[in-house]
Structure 1
Amino acid sequence: MTAAAMAVAPVNEQVLAKFVYAEARLLDEARFDEWLDLFAEDGVYWMPLVPGQTDARLHTSLMHEDKLLLRIRVERLAGARTYSQQPPSRCHHLLQQPDVVEMSPDSGRYQVRTAFHYVETRQDAQTLLAGWATHELVSTPDGLRIAMKRVDLVNSDAAFGNICLFP
């Protein structure tokens, strides 16, 4: 579903689920610029280090990136001199049915939680991650946008190698 189609569709559970699936597909197809467009201007991607972590600013996180940092990461992924991405990493998201946690049409805010398995691969190395993604979405004139995507890994406090893409 395109962002324009989501702009005119009334927001219901099916629209929210389609948004989450479409976001994962953009990542799986390495369409990172289009994925980045799904974020609100003040949107944040957060991957806590500790299970149950409630504050990204007072505690260390695996990732805590605003749209500017996400844009820099996306540009780096496409860079000709990014040798760590030659050949490029690839990923696959396997999602359970998204669960709508909150629907507040009057305020234009929605929260969706989705269990996932994520595989990231580059050459012979493969990483499997599992956890839950919580999307905090906002309605805008351009459609739904991500205010925050929180990714809670089952083993977030484990030692990780590089996570190059976006679980």
Structure 2
Amino acid sequence: MTTPEDFVAAEAALLDAGRFDDWLALFTEDGHYWVPLQGAAQADPYSHNSIAYEDRLLLQLRIERLKNPRAHSQHPASRCQHVLQRSRIESDDAAGGELVLRTPFLYVEARGEQQLMLAGSYRHLLVRTASGWAIRQKRVDLLNAGQALPAIQLFI
């Protein structure tokens, strides 16, 4: 089994390569992608608005929109690059088969002549499966989450 740190690096590489279907396959059936509006200070996705809180169905819909040749927001197509710092395990429940991994990052998204850079930390809730690691929740705590942000086309 690959290490959780290598798993998170491979996940970012899938996004950078635009392999969104392969990226979605990393999530458990009950998996969520969450970008809190209050960043690290937000305790849950229910008591306050979020920038994004998406289950597998909503993620699949976003991916289908990105792949649609008529998607105006993708002319020209967006590209991204994730730069990750070393991941650290925040908690490991070996008996329950779950761990939380924190990874500081820089994210760059480019479309045409425009470029956006964001910084923050990922918190991956990973579960051990028979085939390796899977994402139960990917939380993206943006450094400037409370500020007005431009439209983010891809997945931070």
1:63 aligns with 2:44: no
Q: How far, CA to CA, are the matches of 2:131 and 2:51 in structure 1?
A: 30
Alignment deviations for residues 96-133 of structure 1 (CA, whole Å, 9 cap, x no partner):
01011112222110110000000001001110000000
* Unaligned residue ranges in structure 1 (runs of 5+): 1-8
Return the alpha-carbon distance in structure 2 between the equivalents of residues 132 and 32 of structure 1.
Answer: 21
Give 2:32's aligned residue.
44
Cα offsets for 1:67-124 (capped at 9, x unmatched) = 1100000111000111110221000000001011112222110110000000001001
* Consecutive unaligned residues in structure 2, runs of 5 or more: none
Aligned to 1:148: 137
In 1, the alpha carbon distance for the partners of 2:129 and 2:55 equals 18
Please say if 1:18 is aligned against 2:1.
no
- Quote the offset at 1:141 in angstroms: 2.4
- Tell me the percent identity: 47
Alpha-carbon distance in 2 for matches of 1:138, 1:28: 23
Say which is worse superposed, 97-106 or 149-158, in terms of deviation.
97-106
SS in 1 for 2:145: coil
- The correspondence of residues 34-113 of structure 1 with structure 2, limited to 5 A, is 34-51=22-39, 52-113=41-102
TM-score (ref. length: structure 2): 0.96
- Farther-moved stretch of structure 1 (28-37 vs 95-104): 95-104
Runs of 4+ in 1 over 3 A off after TM superposition: none
What is the deviation of 1:21?
A: 0.2
2:15 aligned partner:
27
The CA deviation at 1:58 is 2.2
Cα offset for 1:144? Answer: 1.0
User: For residue 137 of structure 1, what is the aligned residue in structure 2?
Assistant: 126
